[in-house]
């Protein structure tokens, strides 16, 4: 009987456990986790923060799901891996034997390193305990400063604003999320932030957090500006948790390096999720994915390989559905550079197609803003951003994922003032009909 040990109780760890159990009904599965809340939806924390969902909805696993796994859960921290002895040593000294081991311990929020970062009232949004702490603080906080220019910082700003806290958002660059969004898209988000009464400060960096009696009292920027506040929230990026792997002698780069089977350089040790940097046979590069969907799939593939079933992980076309300033936004594929030649960027606004397209999945509707941007290469669409109504998102995902030849419509797409939503919709209807 095989002994499987999984370090990490996030989506990658649970995905691996499910795959192992389906492949091996008799094996012993042990999951080790240091998050006291166990498995929950981390993407859902933003909606918990705004008050749109209750805490119970963040737990997708029910009692029967855990029973079906027939696994042992240990609360603790893996302090050491002894690969020669096939042992995991916990911080309390317990020694857990394994035949195959998965490291799926994820990533952690990058910490602020400015004076005052240890003051009471400095918060991040890394896990459930952080979210609970922030919600508790909003009952007393009146003004908050949020630092960061990506999705997490925006989630913090909107969550605090939804709880009636006055919010200042500090962004280092000249516009919001400038490495992903184009100028028009940034302006759409910024306009909606203004409508939510979130005050945005551009090209502004935090220099110091000011305190009074051990608590946050304000901030000072590198330009010398001071803002009074009683809460400082930050979202400045994440970093894979590599210490355990590095101390074990596992080869690491930006993440734990693994082949397409999720195997590391050490025998019987696998990795998956945010901590993993996995070889992608299509691009020939080792890449990190920090999204929920890829983490689950990596866990599944790792679990199958741990159970002796040969499986290959192939990086899918990135597909990320998020919400920016209340606006559902889907980001598909490469939105900054092409894969087969210099891409042409085309963007258009609203279209009746979004409202009339049949057989579509509508994430949200009724927006005053609908926007689409395509990255069109020589023969394919390599990337897309859809903001607002999402009726074309599934079609675009398939067109980009399957690298469907769009030569027949390319000149129409890039023509001045082309109704690109209508063109894509008609093209997809023809492709869909030919497949059925």
What domains does the chain contain, in order, with CATH numbers? 3-107+239-306 (3.50.50.60), 122-236 (3.50.50.60), 319-435 (3.30.390.30)
| CA–CA gap between residue 134 and residue 146 (Å, rounded) | 12
Note the pLDDT of residue 346: 54
Q: pLDDT for 110-120, tens place per residue?
A: 999 999 999 99
Q: pLDDT for 323-356, tens place per residue?
A: 899 888 999 987 753 334 455 555 443 333 333 3
46 membership: H or E segment, kind and range: helix 45-50
| CA–CA gap between residue 169 and residue 325 (Å, rounded) | 13
- Determine the number of helices (DSSP H) and then strands (DSSP E) in the chain: 12, 26
Note the pLDDT of residue 319: 87
Note the pLDDT of residue 289: 85
| CA–CA gap between residue 230 and residue 220 (Å, rounded) | 13
> What contacts 296, CB < 8 A, 6 or more positions away?
11, 12, 14, 15
What number of residues does the chain have?
436
β-partners of residue 6 are 31, 102
Note the pLDDT of residue 336: 54
Note the pLDDT of residue 366: 41
> What contacts 83, CB < 8 A, 6 or more positions away?
248, 249, 266, 267, 268, 269
Residue 338's closest CA among 374, 364, 306? 374
Note the pLDDT of residue 424: 92
| CA–CA gap between residue 156 and residue 138 (Å, rounded) | 12
Asked whether 32 and 126 are in contact (CB, 8 A), the reply is: no
| CA–CA gap between residue 268 and residue 356 (Å, rounded) | 53
Note the pLDDT of residue 210: 98
How do the pLDDT tens digits run along the chain, 436 residues long?
A: 899 999 999 999 999 999 999 999 999 999 999 998 989 999 899 999 999 999 999 998 888 888 889 999 999 999 999 999 999 999 999 999 999 999 999 999 999 999 999 999 999 999 999 999 999 999 999 999 999 988 999 999 999 999 999 999 999 999 998 888 888 889 999 999 999 999 999 999 999 999 999 999 999 999 999 999 999 999 999 999 999 999 999 999 999 999 999 999 999 999 999 999 998 776 778 888 888 889 999 999 999 999 999 999 988 888 888 889 988 899 998 775 333 445 555 544 333 333 333 333 333 334 457 888 898 888 999 889 999 888 899 999 999 999 999 999 999 988 888 888 889 999 999 998 888 7
| CA–CA gap between residue 150 and residue 130 (Å, rounded) | 18
Asked whether 341 and 378 are in contact (CB, 8 A), the reply is: yes
Note the pLDDT of residue 344: 56
Note the pLDDT of residue 248: 97
Residue 366's closest CA among 344, 350, 383, 347? 350
């Amino acid at each position: 009987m095989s002994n499987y040990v999984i370090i990490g109780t996030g989506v990658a760890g649970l995905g691996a456990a499910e795959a192992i159990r389906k492949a091996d009904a008799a094996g012993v599965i042990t999951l080790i986790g240091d998050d006291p809340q166990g498995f929950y939806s981390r993407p859902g924390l933003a909606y918990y923060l705004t008050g749109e969902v209750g805490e119970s909805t963040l737990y997708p696993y029910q009692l029967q799901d855990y029973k079906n796994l027939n696994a042992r859960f240990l609360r603790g921290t893996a302090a050491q891996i002894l690969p020669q002895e096939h042992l995991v040593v916990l911080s309390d000294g317990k020694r857990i034997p394994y035949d195959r081991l998965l490291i799926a311990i994820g990533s952690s929020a990058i910490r602020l390193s400015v004076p005052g970062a240890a003051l009471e009232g400095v918060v991040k949004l890394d896990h459930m305990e952080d979210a609970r702490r922030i919600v508790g603080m909003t009952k007393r906080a009146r003004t908050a400063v949020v630092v960061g220019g990506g999705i997490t910082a925006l989630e913090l700003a909107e969550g605090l604003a939804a709880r009636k806290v006055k919010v200042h958002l500090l962004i280092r660059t000249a516009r919001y999320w400038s490495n992903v969004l184009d100028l028009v898209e940034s302006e759409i988000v910024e306009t909606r932030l203004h409508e939510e009464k979130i005050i945005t400060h551009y090209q502004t960096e935090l220099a110091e957090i000011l305190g009074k009696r051990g608590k946050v009292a304000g901030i000072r920027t590198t330009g010398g500006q001071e803002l009074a506040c009683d809460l400082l929230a930050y979202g400045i990026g994440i970093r894979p948790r590599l210490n355990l792997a590095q101390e074990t002698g596992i080869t690491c780069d930006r993440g734990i390096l693994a082949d397409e089977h999720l195997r590391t350089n050490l025998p019987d040790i696998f990795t998956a999720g945010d901590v993993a940097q996995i070889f992608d046979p299509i691009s020939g590069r080792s890449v990190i994915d920090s999204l929920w969907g890829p983490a689950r799939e990596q866990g599944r593939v790792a679990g199958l390989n741990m159970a002796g079933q040969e499986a290959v992980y192939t990086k899918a076309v990135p597909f990320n559905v998020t919400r920016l300033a209340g606006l559902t936004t889907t980001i598909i594929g490469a939105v900054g550079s092409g894969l087969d030649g210099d891409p042409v960027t085309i963007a258009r606004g609203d279209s009746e197609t979004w409202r009339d397209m049949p057989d579509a999945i509508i994430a949200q509707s009724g927006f005053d803003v609908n926007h689409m941007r395509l990255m069109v290469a020589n023969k394919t669409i390599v990337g897309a951003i859809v903001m607002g109504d999402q009726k074309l998102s599934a079609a675009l995902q398939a067109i980009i994922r399957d690298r469907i030849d769009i030569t027949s419509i390319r000149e129409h797409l890039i023509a001045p003032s082309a109704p690109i939503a209508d063109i894509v919709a008609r093209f997809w209807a023809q492709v869909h009909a030919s497949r059925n």
